Amino acid sequence: MNWLHSFALEFLRLTWEVLPWFLAGAAFGAALDVWLKPEFALRHLRGGWLSMLKATALGMLMPGCACATMPMAEGLRRKGADLGTVTSFLLASPLASPQTLVLTWALLGWQFAAARALAGLAGGMAIGALFLNLEKRTAWLDIPAPAAERKIACGPGCDCPGGRESDEDAPEKFWPVFVEIIKELGKYFAIGMAIASALVVSVPQGFIAGYLGSSGPLAYLAAALAGVPLYVCEGEEIPLTLSFIKLGLGPGPAFTFLLGSVGTCIPTMIMSQRLIGRRGMLVYAAFWLLFALSAGLLFGSLF
């Protein structure tokens, strides 16, 4: 009973913290679906290397945790963006938003902040290139078909191209799309919050810190494995990383934890199945693990 009580409290606390970001992300995704002009989407965010670069930059400029970026990515996918563009946005957005870079500089120093920004840019392009090639192998990747873009029949005298609703009608279409995105991702969101809450109340306090107290090769692996399933709100990973550094964790493993904890939480992984499929989710998680380890090793060798 005590465990259930603690679980219920943690689930409510965690959901209360994340829900505003999730709803904001769903609203942004719906806005993309309703107001983003087809010609803009096709020209800038449809596919290719330049599209991935723009999606990476867009993700780095937008606030929001990993759970918030998933519904935003759903909006991009609805516009016909390829998986390279979508995954570039997914990686960069929680990793290097402006406010987290400022907080990283304030608490961890300019080296961590600069490396985090470069990691967001390089990682966004790398994972985009990977999924751009994997998308051509749909039989293996089991990619779910993107939701069809809404086509509204034009009335007499309507000049909307391709049957698209006019700008005057767009606000009336926002709420149905918003609700649809919530329905599609809400169940994954709830399951993810439940698993994350169960981990928080089941793992003893100090367990992670105890396994991150060295700077050898095992410290990198422990930092990555600790960060990947852990859920942290946007910015919460920074004081956690600072506390590990104060406990004696080296800069390299600390940077590995910083990256891994912000991009591969269990709720994000569960929701990602909606966009990239189950096998794609495994590829996405494996990429994040190797990416966090490699970035940490490089950072540790420099600083």
Quote the CA–CA distance of 113 and 107 in Å, as a whole number.
Answer: 9
Q: What's the pLDDT score for residue 225?
A: 78
pLDDT in 10s for each residue of the chain, 303 residues: 788 999 999 889 878 877 887 788 778 777 877 776 655 555 667 667 888 888 888 877 765 566 667 777 777 777 777 888 888 888 887 787 776 788 788 888 999 999 999 998 999 899 988 988 887 776 666 666 555 544 433 333 333 333 444 445 556 688 888 888 788 777 777 877 787 788 778 877 666 556 655 667 878 888 887 776 665 655 667 777 887 787 777 899 999 988 888 766 666 777 777 778 788 888 888 898 899 999 999 999 998
Pick the closest to residue 60 from 108, 105, 123, 111 (CA basis).
123
Residues 6 or more apart whose Cβ sits within 8 Å of residue 37: none
C-alpha distances (whole Å) from 213 to each of 249, 251, 266 are 5, 12, 24
Alpha-carbon dihedral angle through residues 229, 232, 236, 237, given to the nearest 10 degrees: 20
Quote the CA–CA distance of 35 and 37 in Å, as a whole number.
Answer: 6
Pick the closest to residue 221 from 247, 249, 253 (CA basis).
253
Q: What's the pLDDT score for residue 155?
A: 38
Give the dihedral sign, CA 30/32/35/41: negative
For the segment 147-189, what is each residue's pLDDT rounded down to a tens digit? 554 443 333 333 333 344 444 555 668 888 888 878 877 777 7
Q: What's the pLDDT score for residue 228?
A: 65
Quote the CA–CA distance of 57 and 121 in Å, as a whole number.
Answer: 7
For 228, phi and psi rounded to 5 degrees? -60, -50
C-alpha distances (whole Å) from 236 to each of 56, 135, 212, 261 are 22, 33, 18, 9
CB-CB contact of 146 with 159 (8 Å): no
Q: Tell me the domain boundaries of the chain.
A: 2-302
DSSP H or E run through 245? helix 237-246
Q: What's the pLDDT score for residue 205?
A: 64
CB-CB contact of 44 with 54 (8 Å): yes
For 180, phi and psi rounded to 5 degrees? -65, -40
Q: What's the pLDDT score for residue 23?
A: 83
CB-CB contact of 100 with 115 (8 Å): no
Cβ of 142: how many Cβ atoms within 10 Å? Answer: 12
State the pTM of this model.
0.68
